[in-house]
Structure 1
Amino acid sequence: MLKLFKLLGNKRLFVILIGIVMFITLMGFTIGSRTSLSWPEKFVRDTVGFVQNIFYKPAGYIAGLFEDIGNMKGIYEENEELKIALAQYTREKARFNFMEAENKRLQIALDFTIAQSEKNNYEFHIAQVVSVNTDPNNRSLVIDIGQRDGVKVDMTVTSVEGLVGVVSKVSNFTSTVKLITTMDVKDPNTNAIAATALNKQDKTFGIIESYDQKTGTLLMTGIKEDDPLKEEDTIVSSGSGGLYPQGMVIGTVESVQIGEMGSLRTATIIPAADFVDWKQLFVVFTPEVQE
């Protein structure tokens, strides 16, 4: 038994010696200066490279996948922020456009009232249009000022462009305006307008008491044969009769015709006011009715 242990011990020593010799030999191959690798080095390098390639590609793919997911999340969050910014910009732009249009309307209204006050001793109270009645037999509209604001029946209502009508009904907070497009010579209650031509007040005179629905024009009658009225003259209220104050712009002469009796003429007038899409109008306060 003792001999057997000695034999095994000698074998272990022999194996260790062989291993040391091979290690020294391998070191000798690798330490020296040379241009090519030994076959053990090639084997080890190829093996290591193969194993690294097996593990590196899946690891790189997984790392790239997580990186792409992170990028997609960042892009999504950025898109959401851009959507919010765009919606806010759209709201602000719409608000700005509305304010700009409102400011322009108010500036026009201010310029109009200043210009009118310089011509006549009138006050123009601005009013918002609440509703419009498009019934052909009862064309009217409702404005948002009434008796508490000093509005009375028969007060004149105008737009920046021209005459619109007269107040026909008044309540505490609103007023109904009867449009000049309801004028009918056959109606005994029609509000006829005594009219003249701008810069020809001492030479021109006529009565406007009807509106033609088909042509959208007013008819001015009772014009004398020697009246200098001609096409494109601006027609304004003369102030006679007391209903419409002097100087309210009515429209422009489209044509002048010989009257039925030959001695008097008639004129077709294109209204200055555009009877659609109203937002703001003015009630005219004259010194006689102002409180």
Structure 2
Amino acid sequence: MPQFFLNKRLIVLLISIIILVALIGFSLRERSQPSWPEQFVKDTSGWVQSLVSKPTQYVVDLFGNLQDLQNTYQENKQLKTRVDKLASLEAQVQKLEKDNKQLRDVLGEKKTLSDFKPLPATAIGRNPDQWNDIIVIDKGKINGIEQNMAVMTATGLVGKIKSVNQFSSTVQLLSALDPKNRISAYIQGEANAYGLVEGYDAEKKQLLVKRIPYDAKVKKGQTVITSGLGGVFPAGLLIGTVESVKTDQYGLNQTAYIKPGANFYDIEDVLVIKRNATQPAASDMGAQKGENL
């Protein structure tokens, strides 16, 4: 009798092992549809996740919208302040232009160093290997473009015309490492401060204005414009603002680091500037061949 029960237990154990192996094989095989227990667990967990995530996401979105609304309010407030200032500046500029015109009419002066004629153009080519050196625009000789004309965007000066074809032109950027690429600059302040834009710090992404007299009072935030005295560019074209100033090793001159007004990396629409004032000969300015100020 004990032997019978022992054999019965052995048979049950073997049958259980067979069933277990069959279940494992069944669960491991590829199936197009999950079993109903798996489906039940997935549906239940998905429903619970949806029940929890939707209110949570709603609260997160609500706080995000409130933050965006607050930021929009602050930006709108700042923009209104700027608009009020722009309206005031526009009125002042109109008055100054009117007074300037009247004075010039009285004196019989028809042209100044700041007079120029803008010609709109579009950048159509840029070599990745010379990204900081040159761009190609869609205006050429047929449009009246000439070599050494200034080129700028709406936010500041970017360079000059280097070469001209019939229907296109090449622009040399201020960020190009060319020792002959110099521009006579004027730093606006309590006293006149002149220098030359010579070089570009690629790491800081700033222009270098060198040969500033050692005793000139140059401060951060001052505006830098073209002086018009180089004989090529008209006066008053925005170059950028002063970021820092340092004295050279001999203490005779200063060098100002200028944050450009224009974005040299992203240039699309530009203005080619034709100077109205008479342009002196390069030899009269003491410049070498191929050099301009």
Short-chain TM bin:
0.5 to 0.7
Confirm or deny that 1:287 pairs with 2:281: no
Q: Pick the structure with greater CA Rg.
A: 1
Q: Give the alignment of 1:1-291 within 5 angstroms.
A: 120-136=114-130, 139-184=133-178, 187=179, 190-198=180-188, 203-288=192-277
1:280 offset after TM fit, Å?
0.6
The 1:277/1:221 distance shift into structure 2, 3 A limit, reads: closer
Query: CA deviation digits over 1:180-212, x for unaligned, max 9?
Result: 10144xx3xx22111111355x62111111111
Tell me, in whole angstroms, the C-alpha distance in 1 between the residues paired with 2:127 and 2:262: 17
CA RMSD of aligned residues (A): 2.5
Answer yes or no: is the 8 Å Cα contact 1:137–1:182 preserved in 2: no
1:156 offset after TM fit, Å?
0.6
The 1:134/1:247 distance shift into structure 2, 3 A limit, reads: farther
Tell me, in whole angstroms, the C-alpha distance in 2 between the residues paired with 1:286 and 1:170: 17
The 1:136/1:129 distance shift into structure 2, 3 A limit, reads: closer
Tell me, in whole angstroms, the C-alpha distance in 1 between the residues paired with 2:240 and 2:211: 17
Code of the aligned partner of 1:222: R
Tell me, in whole angstroms, the C-alpha distance in 2 between the residues paired with 1:218 and 1:138: 12
The 1:214/1:257 distance shift into structure 2, 3 A limit, reads: same
Answer yes or no: is the 8 Å Cα contact 1:162–1:271 preserved in 2: yes
1:162 offset after TM fit, Å?
0.6
Instruction: Structure 1: give runs of 5+ residues left out of the alignment.
Output: 1-114
Query: CA deviation digits over 1:159-189, x for unaligned, max 9?
Result: 01111111111111111101110144xx3xx
1:271 offset after TM fit, Å?
1.0
1:102 aligned residue: none
1:150 offset after TM fit, Å?
0.4
Tell me, in whole angstroms, the C-alpha distance in 2 between the residues paired with 1:258 and 1:267: 9
Answer yes or no: is the 8 Å Cα contact 2:158–2:173 preserved in 1: yes
Query: CA deviation digits over 1:110-163, x for unaligned, max 9?
Result: xxxxx8xx6932111110111112324872111111101100011110001111
Percent identical: 35
SS at match of 1:214: coil
The 1:134/1:244 distance shift into structure 2, 3 A limit, reads: farther
| TM-score relative to the length of structure 2 | 0.54
Which of the two has greater helix per residue? 1
Code of the aligned partner of 2:162: S
1:281 offset after TM fit, Å?
0.2
Answer yes or no: is the 8 Å Cα contact 1:158–1:283 preserved in 2: yes
Answer yes or no: is the 8 Å Cα contact 1:129–1:142 preserved in 2: yes
Tell me, in whole angstroms, the C-alpha distance in 1 between the residues paired with 2:217 and 2:201: 24
SS at match of 1:135: helix
